[in-house]
Amino acid sequence: MSDVLIFDGYIDEPGSLGVPPYIHPLARATYGAVRDAGHTPAYVTVDQWRAGKALPDSIMIVVLSGMSVPGRYLRGMPASRRELLQLIDGFGGETVLGGPAALDPGLRERFHHAHYLDAASAAYDLLERGRADDRWRSVEEWDRWLMLGADCVLSHPDHPQPLMAELETYRGCIRYVNGGCSFCVEPLKGRPVFREPASIIAEARALRERGVENFRLGAQTCIISYHAELDGTDCPRPNPQALEELLSGISALEPRVLHVDNANPAVIARHPAESGEILRSLVRHCTPGNVLALGMETADPEVGRINNLNATPEEVLWSVREINRLGGERGENGLPLLLPGINILVGLEGERKSSLDLNLRFLKGVLDQGLLLRRINIRQVMPVRREFPETVKHGDFLKFKERVREEVDRPMLERLVPVGTVLRSVYTEMREGKVAFGRQIGSYPLLVGIPHPVEMGAFVDVAVVGHGFRSISAVRYPLQVNECHITALEALPGLGRKRATRLFRARPMNGPEDLMEALDDPRVAEGVLPFISFRQSQP
């Protein structure tokens, strides 16, 4: 019988994901910390609780929840304040709150303990000695608790698929020596604390043995700087050997997905030889569709100087070119092996409306040069480290965001996945009206709308038939033209309702000749042929 409940209300932070299909490393570490303290943990997600799952009797409940930045979610949604208060109402044991929600004064006062810094160490200390101070876990505790917490994944509703385990590589930021970016709390953690490759590989192996197939090396400020030679500068030399050891070790476990997250473009640009080796390791060992999110934040050099940002626009552009050069080849899942993303933060000190124009000009320049960006993440600065007086009107922010979506995102998406591109293993997650929505498993996956009936909770191959600003429309691939729903035929390029009806009535068709005969335009028929199959199920 369990006596401590880990309640996963989902944590969503810029570099660390815990909303389904992800499981946050803090959940697994807390589970392990409870076991290390001699107690028996249980793990329940907010979605299981919403669906009516009874919570086990416990002497303590550790609630992990909160968003550092507002997000948009397809399926799982982080617990609301109302839900968290309802959860603990009448609970007889001790209540512990962790994650970004622990910064909410309205929640802090309703829990016995609130620990934003590290809920895992807080839970351990409370169980071991009855009190807890805010402290970071040691590296030894970090590794031990993640190993002891591996069983946590067995209770996640997305296990074994499409669950994605976030793996932590280090804590802090290499730019701690000069305070780092004005908006970010990572440099305040002091000198970076790195986990060893062998420890992370052992953690991945333990998860792999428990059925987990998808991994992301997240929760770090710069994957290129893993085990960098800290030399007192804010851009230390990278360590290609450490990344090669880590990536090859996890790759040897044969995961279905292995992706990473953030990278500092200044490190890539200022250390091209070492960074080039690391980029090649990422291409060699990770799976296609991988994304390196680059923290540009602004293309206005003056705003960069005022806020002590990590890279110049020129360094960002150099990094974008280099990642495209080394990672642009298309992989087996239909996406390039490795592409850059760009983060833009609006509302920094010194920013003006003209700064937004510079941002747009930069992004359009990337597009005009024929380069690919997998993701452009535009958000407003949050007052986590300090307050930021309004510098750009909210209306100007919204107009800027809309222009990026229309003038950059959509043409970029059309270049990334042209009509006819086959995307493998799209996991169908929900249905809204007549459209099913799914995503490939990975970092920042494309949202795929499938406008015809399809099984939910399944992996399907699809072919792209249209583009939105940040999503695509697709049909099953190959589309069984003699058996599919008429709405699938309507979605094919050049058809529409009338021609789809004509095809529907012409079934069964045995080959291209029948298709040509059913349609009134040979060019339309030729455009449809790559999407379809004439095979029929056996009676």
Per residue in 458-513, pLDDT (tens digit) is: 999 999 999 999 899 999 999 999 999 999 999 999 999 999 999 999 999 999 99
Q: What is the pLDDT of residues 74-121, one digit of tens each?
A: 888 999 999 999 999 989 999 999 999 999 999 999 999 999 999 999
What is the DSSP code string of 144-200?
HHHHHTGGGGGGSTTTTTT-EEEEE-EES-GGGGGT--TT-SGGGG-S-EEPPHHHH
Q: Please, what sign has the CA dihedral across residues 12, 13, 15, 16?
A: negative
Whether the CB-CB separation of 100 and 68 falls below 8 Å is answered with yes
Instruction: Work out the percent of the chain whose per-residue pLDDT is above 90.
Output: 93
Cα–Cα–Cα angle for 339, 342, 344, rounded to 5 degrees:
170
Q: State the pLDDT at residue 169.
A: 98
* Backbone φ/ψ region at 232: left (φ over 0), alpha (ψ -120 to 50), beta: left
Whether the CB-CB separation of 13 and 43 falls below 8 Å is answered with no
Say how many Å lie between the first and final Cα of the chain, rounded. 51
Which ranges of 349-456 does DSSP label H, i.e. alpha helix? Answer: 353-368, 394-404, 410-416
Q: State the pLDDT at residue 538.
A: 59
Q: What is the pLDDT of residues 314-333, one digit of tens each?
A: 999 999 999 999 999 999 99
pTM: 0.96
Calpha distance 94→218 (Å, rounded): 31
* CA 352 centroid distance within chain: 30
Calpha distance 186→493 (Å, rounded): 48
3-class SS of residue 5: strand
- Predicted confidence band at 338 (pLDDT cuts at 50, 70, 90)? very high
Q: State the pLDDT at residue 16.
A: 87
Cα torsion for 362, 365, 369, 372, to the nearest 10°?
Answer: 50
3-class SS of residue 467: strand
Q: What is the pLDDT of residues 379-431, one digit of tens each?
A: 999 888 888 989 999 999 999 999 999 999 999 999 999 999 999 999 999 99
Averaged pLDDT for residues 235-241 = 98
List the beta bridge partners of residue 479.
532
- 215's tokens: 């991994």
Averaged pLDDT for residues 196-205 = 99
- Predicted confidence band at 14 (pLDDT cuts at 50, 70, 90)? confident
Whether the CB-CB separation of 358 and 392 falls below 8 Å is answered with no
CB atoms under 10 Å from CB of 81, counted, come to: 14
At 336, the amino acid letter reads P
Q: State the pLDDT at residue 532.
A: 97
- 186's tokens: 């990572």
Calpha distance 476→480 (Å, rounded): 8
Average pLDDT of every residue of the chain: 96
- For the cut 80, the answer to whether the pLDDT of residue 69 exceeds it is no
Q: State the pLDDT at residue 365.
A: 98
Q: Distances from the Cα of 155 to the Cαs of 41, 246, 448, in angstroms?
A: 11, 27, 28
Q: State the pLDDT at residue 289.
A: 98
Calpha distance 54→36 (Å, rounded): 25
Domains and CATH numbers, the chain: 4-129 (3.40.50), 164-198+217-416 (3.20.20), 422-533 (2.40.50.140)
| Nearest in space to 27 (alpha carbons), one of 138, 164, 130, 126 | 164
Q: 142 or 68: which carries more pLDDT confidence?
A: 142
Q: State the pLDDT at residue 539.
A: 54
Q: What is the pLDDT of residues 379-388, one digit of tens each?
A: 999 888 888 9
